[in-house]
Amino acid sequence: MNLHKLQEAEAYFLELYPQGFEDVGLLPIIKRHNTAKLGEQVREMFAKENFTQPDIICENFAKIVSKSTLISLFEKPKVRDMIKSMRMERKDMLCIGLYEMLYGDQKEGFDTLVEVLSFYSLAKWSIVTLIPYYFYRDKEFFIKPTTTKNIIEFFEIEGLAYKPKPSYEFYVAYKKILGSMRAEVSEKISPNDNAGFTGFLMMIMEE
């Protein structure tokens, strides 16, 4: 990873927004995405006790996808249609995958989610990583394909090749790299919300 580029990006960002993510200039973006409020809703909707009711978990999954500004408008109706058409067996699989991602064996959960979403051609990074990100905003990362590819190229991250099909191995390696990058920058642009940090990287690359 090119640390010099990251340091330059930090300096430039703080020139634009001296208070970092508390800067008034960023308030419209923060308000639009409203990740804190959605995070609270996700922790309530996907509380452990709710996983005894797969129908409710699957409905909540579709609701959060529909509400999230991180998911494209093109994908939202596809997820709603998937849940409506889903057989009970696959609802159970989706429920198990989400439970393991949040509370148990993360690799098993990740692989299960990819497997069940693949039946509907919806095994996409954004959909697989959405709920874990909202549930653990300070620990998990939402992976957006274009942003991810650009980060790897722009910051010259070696030994990591992005592929469209989600894999747990890439997920773990990429999270580790982003965590190490986040540790190198000021707390002003390293809030307790990992989408904020990747948003900072995205804005800098666009500039």
- pLDDT tens, residue by residue, 55-106: 999 999 999 999 999 999 999 999 999 999 999 999 999 999 999 999 999 9
**pLDDT for position 21:** 75
pLDDT at residue 54 tops 80: yes
Instruction: Indicate the number of domains in the chain.
Output: 2
> Which of these three, 135, 156, 172, is where a domain ends?
135
Spell out the alpha helix ranges (H) of 53-193: 54-67, 76-85, 88-103, 106-118, 125-135, 145-154, 168-182
123 and 154 in a common domain: no
Q: What is the pLDDT of residues 110-143, one digit of tens each?
A: 999 999 999 999 999 999 999 999 999 989 999 9
Same-domain check for residues 16 and 93: no
Separation between Cα atoms, residue 83 and residue 12, nearest integer Å:
44
Residues 130 and 58 in one domain: yes
Which domain does 177 fall in, by range? 3-32+141-206
Question: Contact 28/186 with Cβ under 8 angstroms?
Answer: no
Task: State CA 76 to chain mean position distance.
Answer: 15
End position of a domain, from candidates 116, 135, 154: 135
**Which residues, 6 or more positions from 20, have their beta carbon under 8 angstroms from its beta carbon?**
13, 14, 186, 187, 188, 189, 191
